[in-house]
Amino acid sequence: MEFLEEIQRRRTFGIISHPDAGKTTLTEKLLLYGGAIQEAGAVKSNKIKKGATSDFMEIERQRGISVATSVLAFNYQNKKINILDTPGHKDFAEDTFRTLTAVDSVIVVIDVAKGVEEQTEKLVEVCRMRKIPMIVFINKLDREGKDAFDLLDEVETKLGLRVTPLSFPIGMGYNFKGIYNLWKKNIQIFESTDKQKIAKTIAYDSLESKGLKDSIGDEVMSELTESLELVGGVYPTFDQKEYLEGNLQPVFFGSALNNFGVQELLDCFIQIAPAPLPKSTDKRVIQPDESAFSGFVFKIHANMDPNHRDRLAFIKIVSGTFKRNTPYLHVRHKKKLKFSSPNAFFAEKKEVVEESFPGDIVGLHDTGNFKIGDTLTSGEEIHYKGVPSFSPEHFRFINNADPMKAKQLNKGIDQLMDEGLAQLFTLNLNGRKVIGTVGALQFEVIQYRLEHEYTAKCSFEKLNVHKACWISIEDEENDNYRDFLKVKQKFLAKDKQGQLVFLADSAFSLQMTQQKYPEITFHFTSEFD
Ligand code: G4P
């Protein structure tokens, strides 16, 4: 197959949702359509189970699963589909944000009964800001839930989206009979309710088709006709360009568990979702069809086996062809590396591949060369933008609890930070180390992994920090800036890249500082222009 054809047939996306909306179930059904798995139940949920005996044991279990589900690839109608896994748990929101830098589009899953939930709001906001094309799937229509029009309203107001339904449910809950496909203008009435397999349907070409009325009944038929009139009158006509630019979001309805409405979603998705997109670097925008290879690391997964401290760095290929055993430039280290066993992903298996194309994800075995955000190229010195760190929510001092193991501790901290598990700040005043995390769970994970993987012991000590802000100033000689550095000395630290960070102890003090020093910009992510 030609290089350009390989690019055009790829669809790399993520599914985002609040936990329990049905992300895992939908993923599984998509794989089932792709023939990548034979039976439902094969894809393990990587969510942290509620009421687990110990949170970190649960995380270890989840880590094991998440390496298998990091990328789930399959072929469907000659399209190569790469689903990137996004953790739903809020403590791992940063992993999800980073994964979103590697997708070309997303599917948002919403529970018909619960409507728009908190985690969905946060994730959609990130996608909206980045103009990522989004399709909404309203799930669990086999249960009683909110009225379809009310839900569409809720999606518009709470998520700030402009929606247009491309499928519409016929009935709901016990009465859920099928799907009107506005995209293909046909109707699927469900026949079987075999949850494990692909649902059997009867297709009708139009509302006038013979037998349809008998099949769904007079009442449902007139409800459907009314709803469709309303849809036609209220919502904008679907326009692919608007969708691709992030200005219009098509909505599908269905039940992932019962496999209703999933095919409508998938068939439309492969036609309208974008093939791999260009991406900005610090120097120029890179087009996927450029012949020179380039890509970036968006995720690092530590090996589950503590005896082998190698890791898997996940690279999204942006341009060119990635080839096995070929030297590539690790731009940050300015050194060439080659990889003898790059992994590609197919369903839940990974296998060594000779070559991969834009849109694909390759897993590279790494002994500590990579950190999140690193760029790998055929030789050009560019850095991909858009993999920032966010201000953590929780901060603690980290202390060495075993003086004989200082070296191990430092190495362990260093590597866990490269993986993106947490962020390290070093106080300017006394060199003390502060760990910042998005969720409280990460402290347990750090302690556990330092001990089990690096034989180092640590303890944490409370620290009162509200937010970390990255500082920038146009003129470093500015008197007010010098005053800031002196007065706020106690609250200044460096991040791992040596960037200056202000650790504000409260929202109030942050606000006062911002007012007092208007020439300083306080950023809430590590990447800014
Ligand atoms: P998540 O990955 O978004 O967290 O959600 P997941 O797919 O694990 O689904 C959460 C729960 O919702 C599961 O039930 C799943 O079976 C159920 N579910 C998913 N899609 C549908 C649907 O279309 N209709 C109905 N009625 N339920 C659906 P569970 O009891 O938590 O887990 P399990 O014991 O069934 O695995």
Structural domains in the chain, sorted by start: 13-272 (3.40.50.300), 279-377 (3.40.50.300), 394-523 (3.30.70.3280)
69 lines ligand 1 (CB under 6 A): no
- Counting every residue written for the chain, the total comes to 529
173 lines ligand 1 (CB under 6 A): no
Backbone torsions φ then ψ of 276, nearest 5 degrees = -50, 140
Return the structure tokens found at 214.
Answer: 């008998």
Expressed in angstroms and rounded, the spacing between residue 257 Cα and the centre of ligand 1 is 7
Expressed in angstroms and rounded, the spacing between residue 296 Cα and the centre of ligand 1 is 33
pLDDT of the chain, 529 residues: tens digit per residue: 799 999 999 999 999 999 899 998 999 899 888 876 666 565 655 554 544 445 555 666 666 555 566 788 999 999 999 999 887 777 777 788 889 999 999 999 999 999 999 989 988 998 998 899 999 999 999 999 999 999 999 999 999 999 999 999 998 888 888 888 888 888 888 875 554 455 566 666 677 777 777 778 888 888 888 999 999 999 999 999 999 999 999 999 999 998 889 989 999 999 999 999 999 999 999 999 999 999 999 998 876 565 666 788 999 999 999 999 999 999 999 999 999 999 888 776 778 999 999 999 999 988 889 988 999 999 999 999 877 777 888 999 999 999 999 999 999 999 889 888 899 999 999 999 999 998 888 898 899 889 988 899 999 999 999 999 999 999 888 899 999 999 999 999 999 889 999 999 999 999 999 999 999 999 988 776 5
d(CA 196, CA 79): 24
Query: Best mutation site among 15, 17, 23, 25 for ligand 1, i.e. most ligand atoms within 8 A of its Cβ?
Result: 25
| Long-range CB pairs of 42-47, under 8 A, 24+ apart, other chains included | 42/348, 43/69, 43/72, 43/348, 44/68, 44/69, 46/85, 46/87, 47/19, 47/20, 47/87, 47/88, 47/89
Q: What is the DSSP letter of 46?
A: -
19 lines ligand 1 (CB under 6 A): yes
Expressed in angstroms and rounded, the spacing between residue 243 Cα and the centre of ligand 1 is 28
Expressed in angstroms and rounded, the spacing between residue 325 Cα and the centre of ligand 1 is 42
CA-to-CA dists, residue 424 to 104, 221, 352, 367, 420, angstroms = 30, 61, 34, 20, 10
In this structure, which residue's CA is closest to atom 28 in ligand 1?
257
Give the residues across from 178 on adjacent strands: 170, 189
Which three-class secondary structure state does DSSP give residue 224?
Answer: helix
d(CA 43, CA 68): 9
Which atom, in ligand 1's list, is nearest to the CA of 143? 26
* Helix H or strand E encompassing 393: none
Which atom, in ligand 1's list, is nearest to the CA of 256? 23
Residue 380 falls in which region: left (phi positive, over 0), alpha (psi -120 to 50) or beta: beta
Return the structure tokens found at 152.
Answer: 């569409």
Q: Would you state the pLDDT for residue 198?
A: 53
Q: What is the DSSP string of 268-286?
A: HHHHHSPPSPPEEBSS-EE
Q: What is the number of other CB atoms lying within 10 angstroms of the CB of residue 354?
A: 11
Query: Best mutation site among 190, 257, 259, 263 for ligand 1, i.e. most ligand atoms within 8 A of its Cβ?
Result: 257
Q: What is the DSSP letter of 152?
A: H
Give exposure, 504-518, as e/b (b: 16+ Cβ within 10 Å): beeeeebeebeeebe
Expressed in angstroms and rounded, the spacing between residue 145 Cα and the centre of ligand 1 is 15
Which three-class secondary structure state does DSSP give residue 415?
Answer: helix
* Helix H or strand E encompassing 509: helix 507-516
22 lines ligand 1 (CB under 6 A): yes
Q: Would you state the pLDDT for residue 53?
A: 45
257 lines ligand 1 (CB under 6 A): yes
Give exposure, 381-393, as e/b (b: 16+ Cβ within 10 Å): ebebbbbbbbbbb
